[in-house]
Amino acid sequence: MCQINVGKNEATGIPSEVLESFLKQVLLREGVGRFDASAVSQGLLDASLRGVDSHGIRLFAHYLAAVRGGRVNPRPAFSLQCTKSGTGVLDADHGFGHAAGKKAVEHVKELATINGIGAVSVKNSTHFGAAAYFGNEIARSDMLGLCFTNSDPLIPPTGSSEPFLGNNPICFTAPILGEDPFCLDMATSQITFNEVLRLRASGESAPAGAGYDQCGYETVDPKKIVSLAPVGGYKGYGLSLMVEILCSLLAQMPYGPNVGHMYNDTLEKRRHLSHFFLAVDIGSFLDIEKFKTHIAALAGDLRNQIPVDSNAPIQIAGDPEKLCREQRLAYGIPISEVEVELFDQLSDLYGISWRESSD
Amino acid sequence: MCQINVGKNEATGIPSEVLESFLKQVLLREGVGRFDASAVSQGLLDASLRGVDSHGIRLFAHYLAAVRGGRVNPRPAFSLQCTKSGTGVLDADHGFGHAAGKKAVEHVKELATINGIGAVSVKNSTHFGAAAYFGNEIARSDMLGLCFTNSDPLIPPTGSSEPFLGNNPICFTAPILGEDPFCLDMATSQITFNEVLRLRASGESAPAGAGYDQCGYETVDPKKIVSLAPVGGYKGYGLSLMVEILCSLLAQMPYGPNVGHMYNDTLEKRRHLSHFFLAVDIGSFLDIEKFKTHIAALAGDLRNQIPVDSNAPIQIAGDPEKLCREQRLAYGIPISEVEVELFDQLSDLYGISWRESSD
């Protein structure tokens, strides 16, 4: 077995293709359709490779429980309605969000190829993982991608104490000459709730202004944090609301506090999540090679800016993930003890090895 | 003359239609084309009515200087290229940004009506005022609007001291049943440079983390602030870069530090600004009345959240501007001493009164 360790808190580094194949095989054995199993395993490994561990293979246990519990439909009948020449609505039939997103991205790219721009709204979906998985797929087709999803209520509107909106992500992608796409994939909260949980466990304080207590007052004590501050105060609140409108209102799905919880609800309960995908065909504005050259120059100019700290060179959005991806492609994906235990159990259950690289 | 004062720092309150007509007449006398003069005066008054005084009639003196200096082409030959069924490129021929934006909005609404979604890139433009002017126009046609522009370099990339990107605004709009559209119109910096100038004059400190000194270190001394912190640190830097890509790269215009300065360059120098307008036809996704009813319910739910401070009810983006608009429609637009002086001079020069309401 591959024993190379990358980063912290991991026991082993496993080649991503081995893990992707293993997770896909498990999902197939669990009755998940081929397209869906492929999308989920690919999406999870894509996030793990880029170091976005909160949205990587760590989620597999939850996804498995959600499909076993009945929340996720393992063999959804996606229904795509083409509403105008540049727009469509996909009913995901409560299937995996990764699969619904992948189907929506296929369609939105077709729309943008024909019309120069296209948008697809997705309804009756579930958690789709990291938005970057879809945004990068759009950018790899020489398009600009904008991907959004709504999520569990975590952010109170400015001035209130009650969580209402999700930390709804904004993902923007663009192709760059000679490297993986430019990828901004940001939550609209300052820190994630996973980070709060980590701080609680480690005994560290939260950054000032990142979380609120039950009464809606700012606190740095992670044990008291029950809701998250939007990025930049009322501006992040506005951005989160923008995403909520683009997702739940266009898809006619529940919004804000009516959205099904990822962890706090029973695993039988449908979540009725909604997403919005938008693609802009760059070739409809200028020669694509010219664009990719110009954006590479812009990225280069930014990275060449003089840093305040000479040990911390200037980056652009997505650079840390690109560096991590290179490392993990070379040295494998780190696996936690919890994952080792789960994968061993599944390996025994189905007679599929996840340690093939050691053979 | 109407003597009612609204807000602070103003001497008089003048009906907006009187001011709009006066500014338009002056522009016509200065040789500006009819469409352009109308767009500029309407755009400035729209911002003034909503209380966005930084982008309202205060800018008229600068615009006048820019057209007199030769930076702004008073009678541009707009050229619109329809590139695909959903996309277009408008060459603004260095005319007023307000006029270029108005023309682009007319076109993007047509594209979205036909295709469900449309986008127009604008090149060779100048300052277009407040993005909300265009976004609200899109929303009033029962569409979602997304409007962007690039601007002078003011924000350093995270970790550098040199301003590179503009505090490029993001504007998102949506129609709501029974009231003016929902309008998020935010700069991607925490505070504006106009606010820094105000703090310098008043002797107050800047909010912590809002500005940097020459060496790139955070400072609360407004006299030392030479660049602005992006909203939410690296996230706002990413958002500003997204806007730069959507604007200057799609329009093949200069980016970042190569963008012409509004005030620091000579008034002969073209700015080559670029904008990006996007419209989503809501009716291509669901019944428009249903959407407007749902978003009104969402807005109502948010406004009805219990506030931490009972004197500060919960608002949504654009609410303060709506309240101000109501007041100023009733009591007129406040005019500063500087504006009184300029308007009197122009009144004498062209024999047009700006005090008609007093007759």
Q: What is the ipTM of this complex?
A: 0.95
Q: How many CB pairs under 8 A join A and B?
A: 237
Cβ atoms within 10 A of the Cβ of A37, count?
23
Residue of B nearest to A175 (CA): B245
Taking the CA of residue A29 and the nearest CA in chain B, the distance in Å comes to 37
Q: Report chain A residues whose CB lies below 8 A from the CB of B252.
A: 286, 290, 294
**Please, which residues 172-191 of chain A have a Cβ atom closer than 8 Å to chain B?**
172, 174, 182, 184, 186, 190
| CA distances (Å), origin A29, targets A38, A343, A351, B186, B359 | 13, 14, 11, 49, 84
pLDDT at position A2 over 60:
no
- Asked if B161 and A306 come within 8 Å (Cβ–Cβ), the reply is yes
Q: Is the pLDDT of residue B90 over 80?
A: yes
Contact A87 B285 (CB under 8 A): yes
As a 3-state breakdown, chain A gives helix, strand, coil percent values, each rounded to 5, of 45, 20, 40
Cβ of A251 within 8 Å of Cβ of B164? The answer is no
pLDDT tens per residue across span B269-306: 899 999 999 999 999 999 999 999 999 999 999 999 99
Question: Residues B189-220: pLDDT tens digits?
Answer: 998 887 888 888 889 999 998 999 988 889 99
DSSP B155: B
The full set of domain ranges for chain B reads 1-69+318-359, 78-189+230-303
Chain A residues lying within 8 Å of B305, measured CB to CB: 156-157, 160, 162, 164
Q: Return the structure tokens found at A14.
A: 């496993």
Of the partner residues B158, B184, B305, the one whose CB lies closest to the CB of residue A238: B184
CB B293 within 8 A of CB B301: no
pLDDT tens-digit profile of B8-25? 444 459 999 999 999 999
pLDDT at B12: 55
Q: How do residues B226-238 score in pLDDT, each as one tens digit?
A: 999 999 999 999 9
Nearest by CB to residue A89, choosing from B117, B235, B285, is B285
Q: Is the pLDDT of residue A190 over 80?
A: yes
Kindly determine whether residue A157 and residue B316, on different chains, have CB atoms separated by under 8 Å: yes
Question: Does A116 sit within 8 Å of B157, measured CB to CB?
Answer: no
A133 in Cβ contact with A49 (< 8 Å): no
Per the structure block, which two tokens stand in for A251? 């898809």
Selected residues 12-71 of chain B with any CB under 8 Å from a CB in chain A: none
* Mean pLDDT (chain A, rounded): 93
Question: How confident is the model over B35-88, as pLDDT tens digits?
Answer: 999 999 999 999 999 999 989 999 999 999 999 999 999 999 999 999 999 999
Query: Is 80 exceeded by the pLDDT of residue A232?
Result: yes
Which residue in B151, B150, B152, B154 sits closest to B226, CA to CA? B154
pLDDT tens profile A70-110:
999 999 999 999 999 999 999 999 999 999 999 999 999 99
B219 to chain A, minimum CA–CA distance in Å?
A: 14
Task: Kindly report the nearest CA distance between residue B90 and chain A, in angstroms.
Answer: 10
Residues in chain B within 8 Å Cβ distance of A246: 144
Architecture (CATH level 2) of domain A77-187+230-287: 2-Layer Sandwich (3.30)
Say which of B161, B182, B308 has its CB closest to residue A160.
B308
Locate the chain A residue with the closest alpha carbon to B229. Answer: A232
* A48, amino acid identity: S
Q: Is A240 on the interface with B (CB under 8 A)?
A: no
Asked whether the beta carbons of residue B314 and residue A160 sit closer than 8 angstroms, the reply is yes
Mean pLDDT for the stretch of residues B333-354: 94
* B211-212/A87-91 β-pairing: unpaired
In the predicted model, is pLDDT for residue A202 greater than 90? no
Q: Does residue B137 surpass a pLDDT of 90? A: yes
CB A328 within 8 Å of CB A5: no
CB contact under 8 A, B159 and A301: no
DSSP labels, B282-323:
GGGTS-HHHHHHHHHHHHHHHHTSPBSSTTS----TTHHHHH
Q: 3-state DSSP call for residue A91? A: strand
Residues B93-130: tens digit of each pLDDT: 999 999 999 999 999 999 999 999 999 999 999 999 99
Interface of B with A in 255-294 (CB under 8 A): 255-257, 278, 280-282, 284-286, 290-291, 294
| Cβ neighbours for B227, distance < 8 A, ≥ 6 positions apart | B154, B155, B156, B161, B162, B163, B211, B212, B216
Tell me the torsion sign for CA atoms A138, A141, A143, A144.
positive
Residues of B in contact with A301 (CB under 8 A): 164, 256-257
- Over residues B234-255, mean pLDDT: 98
Using only the alpha carbons of chain A, give its radius of gyration: 20
CB contact under 8 A, B305 and A156: yes
| Nearest residue of B to residue A121, measured between CA atoms | B285
Report the SS3 class of residue A313: coil
Residue in chain A closest to B121 (alpha carbons) equals A285
What pLDDT score does B8 carry?
43
Looking at beta carbons, which residues of chain A come within 8 Å of B237? Answer: 317
Question: Which pLDDT value is given to residue A262?
Answer: 86
Q: Which residues of chain A are within 8 Å of residue B255 when distances are taken between CB atoms?
A: 294, 298
A291: left (phi over 0), alpha (psi -120 to 50) or beta: alpha
Percent of chain B at pLDDT > 70 equals 96
Q: Which of A11-15, A150-154, A329-333 has the lowest mean pLDDT?
A: A11-15
Q: How large is the average pLDDT for residues A112-117?
A: 98
Of A87, A117, A172, which has the smallest distance from its Cβ to B87's Cβ? A117
CATH tag, A1-69+321-359? 1.10.1530.10
Q: Does the distance separating the beta carbons of A234 and B231 come in below 8 Å? A: no
Instruction: Look at chain B and count its residues.
Output: 359
Distance from CA of residue A22 to its chain's centroid? 21
pLDDT at residue number B265 = 84
> In this complex, is the C-beta atom of B86 within 8 Å of any C-beta atom belonging to chain A?
yes
The CATH number of the domain covering residues in B78-189+230-303: 3.30.1370.60
Which residue of chain A has the CA closest to B165?
A302
> Are A87 and B252 a contacting pair at CB < 8 A?
no
Question: In chain B, what's the furthest Cα-to-Cα distance?
Answer: 58
pLDDT tens across B140-192, in order? 999 999 999 999 999 999 999 899 999 999 999 999 999 999 999 999 999 88
Query: What does the alpha-carbon distance between residue B275 and residue B124 come to, in Å, rounded to a whole number?
Result: 9
CB contact under 8 A, A314 and B157: yes
Residues of chain B in contact with residue A190, where contact means CB-CB under 8 angstroms, are 232
Q: What is the model's pLDDT at position A10? A: 43
Q: How many residues does chain A have?
A: 359
Supply the pLDDT for residue A355: 83
Chain A residues touching residue B306 (CB < 8 angstroms):
160-162
Confidence band, pLDDT 50/70/90 cuts, at residue A144: very high
pLDDT of residue B197: 82
Q: Do residues A332 and A12 make contact, with C-beta atoms less than 8 angstroms apart?
A: yes
The verdict on a CB contact (< 8 Å) between A285 and B121 is: yes
State percent of chain A over pLDDT 90: 85
Position A207 pLDDT exceeds 70: yes
When scoring A90, A91, A117 by the number of chain B Cβ atoms within 10 A, the one with the most, hence best to mutate, is A117
Residues of A in contact with B162 (CB under 8 A): 305-306
In 3D, which of A54, A29, A32 has the Cα closest to residue A44?
Answer: A54
Q: Give me the CATH code for the B1-69+318-359 domain, please.
A: 1.10.1530.10
**Cβ–Cβ gap B314/A158 under 8 Å:** yes
Residue B8 token pair: 């602070």
Q: B358 pLDDT exceeds 70? A: no
pLDDT band with cut points at 50, 70 and 90 for residue B356: low
What are the distances in angstroms from CA B46 to CA A61, B39, B98, B326, B333? Answer: 53, 10, 11, 12, 11
| Nearest residue, CB atoms, B298 vs list A83, A117, A255 | A255
pLDDT digits (tens, 9 = 90+) for A235-261: 999 999 999 999 999 999 999 999 988
Interface contact B86-A158, CB threshold 8 A: no
**pLDDT surpassing 60 at residue B1:** no
Distance of CA A169 to the CA centre of its chain: 8
Q: How confident is the model at residue A356 (pLDDT cuts 50, 70, 90)?
A: low
Collapsing DSSP to helix, strand or coil, A13 comes out as: strand
- Report the CATH fold assignment for A190-229: Wheat Germ Agglutinin (Isolectin 2); domain 1 (3.30.60)
Helices B34-49 and B16-29: crossing angle, nearest 10°? 150
Q: What pLDDT shows up at residue B128?
A: 97
In chain B, which residues have their Cβ closer than 8 Å to the Cβ of A316? 157, 238, 241
Chain A touched by B242 (CB under 8 Å): yes
Q: Determine the residue among A192, A241, A243, A319 to mutate to test chain B binding: the one whose Cβ has the most chain B Cβ atoms within 10 Å.
A: A241
**Residue-wise burial string across A311-339, b where 16 or more C-beta atoms lie within 10 A, e elsewhere:** eeebbbbbbebbebbeebeebbbbbeeeb
pLDDT of residue B166: 96
